[in-house]
Amino acid sequence: MNIFNLPALPLTEELTTVLAESRNVRIERIINTGQTTNWYDQEQCEFVVLLEGNAVIEFENNKNVTLSKGDTLLINPHERHRVSFTSSEPPCVWLCVFY
């Protein structure tokens, strides 16, 4: 698989593909073309790499983190957050590791 082989764009919904998973780790590729998310409150750590595009992750404490191609972010367990912006041109391609 090539991480940059994308489906026909734009997408109507976020597309999540599980690339690998075990009992303690899950690795996902997520593609967005302008979609945002509801609030997350996860039990795992999430290490995020934005491989393409631009995005904003909003945290419950009103902190916004702007991400550009190549940026990484570690989201701790129960750190309430949501994706409040994703670019559509270029699309956002995320690599997310949950552990």
* Structural domain contains residue 54: yes
- Confidence (pLDDT) at 42: 97
* Structural domain contains residue 64: yes
Question: Both tokens of residue 30?
Answer: 């997520």
- Confidence (pLDDT) at 89: 95
Q: How many domains does the chain have?
A: 1
Q: What is the pLDDT of residues 5-17, one digit of tens each?
A: 999 998 999 999 9
pLDDT band per the 50, 70, 90 thresholds, residue 86? very high
* Structural domain contains residue 3: no
Specify the pTM: 0.93
* Structural domain contains residue 10: no
* Structural domain contains residue 5: no
Is the distance from CB of 20 to CB of 89 less than 8 angstroms?
A: no
Give the CATH number for residue 40: 2.60.120.10
* Structural domain contains residue 7: no
Average pLDDT of the chain to the nearest whole number: 97
- Residues facing 91 on adjacent strands: 88
Q: What is the pLDDT of residues 28-76, one digit of tens each?
A: 999 999 999 999 999 999 999 999 999 999 999 999 999 999 999 999 9
CA distances to 20, 43, 49, 62, 77 from 93, rounded to whole Å, are 17, 23, 9, 24, 22
Residue range(s) defining the domain that contains residue 22: 15-98
